[in-house]
Structure 1
Amino acid sequence: MHKYYKTVWISDIHLGSKDCKADYLLTFLNQTTIGTLYLVGDIVDMWAMSKQFRWPESHNQVLHKILSLSESGCKVIYLPGNHDAPFQQYDGMAFGHIDVKREDIHTTIDGRKLLVLHGDQFDEEVCFGKFHAWIGDKGYDLLLFVNRWYNRFRTWKGLPYRSLAGYLKKHIKGANKAISRYRAACCNRAKKLQLDGVVCGHIHFPEISNENGIAYHNDGDWIESCSALVENEKGNIDLVYFAHSSGDCIKSKQIQLEKIPNKKAA
């Protein structure tokens, strides 16, 4: 079913990496009409491509789809992250119809003001030092490797895709601590700017929650979760997941229960 959203936030696509779910994202974009599209960082994975160049046709199609959207009336705002950091130097400039910004402030239909940024700005606050960051990077690569083969097995068994990596993040104490610190850092930045909330990506953990009165929205990723944040015509923001079995997007019941009530900006 074709759907219209006033605003869509997606991040951490990681085009050029072997774990990118480009086919799923392309299906989502093709079945959606969007007023404003925020690309919240790590769209192209320059880290992965520096190790091994990989650019399948599906990745090319996603890039062309985004360019096509920008030329057909959809406002596209690109906020580079850490994996596409070279684009950060173009903050405030535009490539064709795509505006490049390090940070932005989005105003919802009902008047709430949200800080939008990738989230790598808070790495020094969240990380436990260079050694721990290196361990985390290597551990994440291993986690994605296991996740990849786990889902190949599920596909062979006729079962739908399931993010094993996302499940483990919820149940590992150290990961929960890092996610909590990241959430607090993002919300503290929004609070200092006297905004109502924040939209970010970076940690591949989709979530809508409340941190001391500040609305926290993380749009997840297209490596593990295949998720996006969407704003409807009333200003409500939902977290949706691509349903791999049906080829459609569904709202998360769990996230819906946690959704922040609309609050006018002060």
Structure 2
Amino acid sequence: MSEDTPLKFRSIWISDVHLGTSGCQADYLLDFLKHTDCEYLYLVGDIIDGWALKRNWYWKQSHNDVIQKVLRKARKGTHVTYVPGNHDEGARQFLGLMFGDIRIEDEVIHTTADGRRFLVLHGDKFDGVVQCAKWLAIVGDRLYGFTLKLNHWFNRARARLGLGYWSLSQYLKLKVKTAVSFVGKFEEAVAAEARHLNLDGVICGHIHKAEMRDIGGILYCNDGDWVESLTALVEHASGELEIVTWQKFYTEQQTVPAAATPTATNPVGIAA
């Protein structure tokens, strides 16, 4: 597969990229953007980590490349919508405006090809820690950053052993009961908002946990992140929604012959 024959989707949602941090997997995301094409691209918050950049400036060329690639897609006709999150909340002062062919909105409603209507928002307003005790959220963010640094060195050691990427921070979160409880409550709260608006579902980010499941008749979709899970939510031409795990595809494409490259209707790395 090459950039000349990209995987084609109707819509793509990505969030929690955290450009400006050492934990950002910008190279993986750039590879994803190079090898996919879509009509609608949604940036669902925490694309640039303003919290981290205020503490310590960290910006690699690959972070520039990601931004330039998104801007290039917008110039070529992709409808790009940027929904800021809590880490890039500074962009919320520009809601309703256009920036380099990119529309900035607090939340939007997306209609799929099969007619379903989804609320698209980052999700931080349903996080009680962020809304009611921002100082605690910032402390937690710093601890999370420390875990990601450990994760970086851990994966360098795995690479020397010929092993693939594995997220230590994601593993730890899934093992902590309070974190699991928080995730469940967050998902239910976001789904309730979509139900209140008489919509069919909701698409969000924020908690770094890719998920698609029915919650009381509402299809809850979380596109994950590009720090731990390396995932995106995609819509096929039919309106079907899927979660693509790009890390798996990125690894496999190094060895799969071009003739065996999957098409957009049969992508590799799909999680239920």
TM-score (norm: length of structure 1) = 0.90
Matches of 2:77 and 2:135, distance apart in 1? 46
Q: Which moved more, 1:173-182 or 1:146-155?
A: 146-155
Alignment of 1:147-166 (within 5 A): 147-166=151-170
Matches of 1:128 and 1:157, distance apart in 2? 44
Instruction: Classify 1:137/1:126 alpha carbon distance in 2 versus 1 (closer, same or farther; 3 Å).
Output: closer
Q: Which runs of 5+ in 2 are unaligned?
A: 255-266
Q: Indicate conservation of the 8 Å contact 1:24/1:247, yes or no.
A: no
| Residue 246 (str. 1) matches residue 252 (str. 2) | yes
Query: 2:176 aligned to 169, 172, 176, which one?
Result: 172
Q: Which runs of 5+ in 1 are unaligned?
A: 257-266
Match of 1:6 in 2: 10
| Residue 206 (str. 1) matches residue 222 (str. 2) | no
Matches of 1:165 and 1:30, distance apart in 2? 27
Query: 2:115 aligned to 105, 111, 115, which one?
Result: 111
Alignment of 1:74-113 (within 5 A): 74-113=78-117
Matches of 1:16 and 1:80, distance apart in 2? 15
Q: Indicate conservation of the 8 Å contact 2:22/2:149, yes or no.
A: no
Q: Indicate conservation of the 8 Å contact 1:105/1:113, yes or no.
A: yes
Amino acid at match of 2:160: W
Number of residue equivalences: 254
Q: Indicate conservation of the 8 Å contact 2:125/2:131, yes or no.
A: no
Tell me the CA shift for residue 167 of structure 1.
2.2
Q: Indicate conservation of the 8 Å contact 2:130/2:137, yes or no.
A: no
Query: What SS class does the counterpart of residue 127 from structure 2 fall into?
Result: helix
Match of 2:62 in 1: 58
Alignment of 1:212-251 (within 5 A): 212-242=216-246, 243=248, 244-247=250-253, 250-251=268-269
Note the alpha carbon deviations across 1:121-152, whole angstroms, 9 max, x for none.
11227889567645533432232122222211
Matches of 1:51 and 1:135, distance apart in 2? 12
Matches of 1:13 and 1:130, distance apart in 2? 20
Amino acid at match of 2:268: I
TM-score (norm: length of structure 2) = 0.88
Matches of 2:132 and 2:188, distance apart in 1? 15
CA RMSD, 1 decimal: 1.9
Percent sequence identity over aligned pairs: 45
Tell me the CA shift for residue 110 of structure 1.
0.6
Query: What SS class does the counterpart of residue 159 from structure 1 fall into?
Result: coil
Instruction: Classify 1:10/1:149 alpha carbon distance in 2 versus 1 (closer, same or farther; 3 Å).
Output: same
